[in-house]
A = this chain, B = another copy of it.
């Protein structure tokens, strides 16, 4: 069966996010006020072929831990859904 994993990888809350700070400054320079904080991370969509949902979830989790997220600086969350 096919599954779609929507993975969000964000910098940990405790850490400074320089990319977000830069965008925050740029928004102000563009005249867009009212935005107080910006944090930028990655969004990754995996198409997984697996026999069941538990296997697909395990595959997504393993991918995050081994390659997609750096646990020292980032946290990740996985949302799994059945694919078309």
> How would you classify the secondary structure of chain A's contact residues: helix, strand, loop or mixed?
strand
List chain B residues, Cβ under 8 A from A67: 23, 26-27, 30, 32
- Copy number in the complex reads 2
Across the interface, A47 reaches (CB within 8 A) one of B37, B44, B55, namely B37
List chain B residues, Cβ under 8 A from A50: 34
Interface residues of A in 32-83 (CB under 8 A from B): 32, 34-50, 55-56, 59, 62-63, 66-68
Q: How many residues of A contact B (CB 8 A)?
A: 35
User: Which residues of A are at the interface with B, using a C-beta cutoff of 8 A?
Assistant: 2, 8-10, 20, 23, 26-27, 30, 32, 34-50, 55-56, 59, 62-63, 66-68
